[in-house]
Structure 1
Amino acid sequence: MLTHINEKGYAKMVDISEKDDTVRCAVASAKIHVAEETLQRVKNGDMKKGDVLSVAQIAGIMGAKNTSTIIPMCHQINLVGCDLEFNINEDENYIEILSTAKSMGKTGVEMEALSSVSIAALTIYDMCKAIDKRMVISDIHLLEKTGGKSGDFKF
């Protein structure tokens, strides 16, 4: 049974009022593949628009905080923490983005973590597109989640 469909077949937001508040955590990942020159300029802070990873950090946090405004069936949640990590892979010319989102509430934070890495990757793209239009955002996925009725998950 689809939980986001009502008895008439229309979309609905799931009622979570009967669920218990629990600590919930989710970790998501994304990659953005860039040209070698782009990667070096990001790493060295040589982009005209500023410090790419610092701006992407803030954008990723904002993405997590605003998930319910852009994903129609997401609940507004009590997001109690969000942190991003950027790992530069110089051998394969990509930046891996990891986001950890945490809440205390009745529903999970998977969508917040996924939104976070997506918005961070899009921000990197935006800040670097003047010199590299061939960037590719890939591998956006949930790595793990804890808490809630459905239990823990690890990719």
Structure 2
Amino acid sequence: MSSLYELTDNYKLIQRLIEEGADAEKFTDTLQAIEDSIDGKAEGYFYVIKNIESDINAMKAEEKRLADRRKAAENKVKRMKEDLTESMIETGKRKVKTPVFTANVQNNPPSVRVIDEGLIPKAFFIEQEPKIDRKGLLNSLKEGDETEGAEIIQTESVRFK
């Protein structure tokens, strides 16, 4: 089976045959051979692509399942630590020592809780790079607005039905 690059070269051969005025029978035979090759190549690619897409979907589903499971486990650990901390504080027992482990309640590092963002001075805000709204820009260009530095392009790709 020939590669797509070879098939493209074959199509260049067809163009040359047309330009050189080759007889109809030679042209038709060459074209038929190329069509059969690219049809077979496209069918083979279709099945390989569908198999790979199926694998990708299975991987995404497994990634999501594992991420959900990890998050649930992390939430359980967090809840258990909070419950134990609360119980130890309520009972006044700030330290538990066993042969296997030692647990003690201690202060966490100081942190900030923002109550009203509008009252925070600008000096505490982090400047960020501007980001282009590509969808908005595309819609503007489609409506006929001329924007220097941008243009609408139309690309092509294979779709299977």
Coarse TM-score class (shorter-chain normalised): under 0.3
TM-score, with structure 1 as normaliser: 0.21
Q: Greater strand percent: which structure? A: 1
Q: Between the two structures, name the one with larger relative contact order (CA 8 Å, sep ≥ 6).
A: 1
TM-score (norm 2): 0.20
Q: Which structure has greater helix proportion?
A: 2
